Amino acid sequence: MNFHTTILGSSAAMPAFGRNQTSQVVNHHDRLFLLDCGEGTQLQFQKYKIRSSKIGHIFISHLHGDHWFGLAGLLCSFGMSDRTEPLHLFAPAATLEILTLQFKYSHTVLQYPVLFQPIEDFFKGEPTPENPILWEDNDLQIKAIPMKHSLPCWGFSFEEKPQQRKIIKEKLPPNLPYPLLHDLKNGKNIEWNNETIANESLTTEGAKPKKYVFCSDTVYNEAMIHALAGADLLYHEATYMEDKTIAAQDRMHSTAAQAASIAHQSQCKKLLIGHFSARYRELDGLLQEAQAVFPATQLATEGESFEV
């Protein structure tokens, strides 16, 4: 699998019934991105054989403890493992103040650079971007999506960029110069030997770009549907079953059926539900309620990897 997410934690608020607090690792062509870092995440790395040294970017959705209390310990462990590569940290602005205080009184000095970027800063300026790009390279861009929760909170959308066209080598004219090969990959027709050659005669379409969206803590919120549209895989919190709809509303969380409704309305291909309340030892009821609305639903089972 070249683009997948591995679930490290799927429990809400506190560990329960062997389920850890929220965390997952997105692997995009062997580059690792950590989403949230609940307490105990380091043990999950070991348990599920995740090479934490390969994590170059960490994204923290919000500052409720079950989503980030493992961060300070992880950063310290990186230092004790002789890390020298920079770490990119995208998190709420107050994260830096808290980490600085923790490191001050524990006399911790990290021997590698942490490039901290407050998520709020991406929403400043005129015009204010609705879903700003937090990070990108030639292949991938990662956007922030505002959630509706009791603290400032964001989800994250991993969106592949359009792929270049693939050249059919056996159809190429001999000795075709590199600049013309570059034009072909970018979908252009070319001029060669006083002849116009149609791009489609020498290339095929590149792989279809894929999209993974992580929706952290949020009440049912149709305003974000446009940002999720067409996702190949959507993770959406599903803290409660339908008989706790009022509790979900009061605590600004979602039910499994509400998560499924969002997936259906946004025309996603597959749905993962997680962030399960500690009241549920067994999760079959949540899965059944979600599948009744959106059949292509799976539980975010810890240790499992789900292809985008």
Strand 297-299 and strand 271-274: the pairing is parallel
66 catalytic per annotation: yes
Please answer whether residues 11 and 238 qualify as being in contact, where contact means their C-beta atoms are separated by less than 8 angstroms: no
10 Å CB burial of residue 290 (0-12, 13-18, 19+) is buried
Residue 12: Cβ within 10 Å count: 27
Look at residues 199, 212, 218 and name the one whose alpha carbon lies nearest to residue 261. 218
The answer to whether the bond into 127 is cis (omega within 30° of 0) is yes
Task: Report the alpha-carbon distance of residue 229 to residue 166 in Å, rounded.
Answer: 27
Write down the catalytic residue from 36, 66, 217, 232.
Answer: 66
**What size, in residues, is the chain?**
308
Question: Which residues form the catalytic set?
Answer: 66
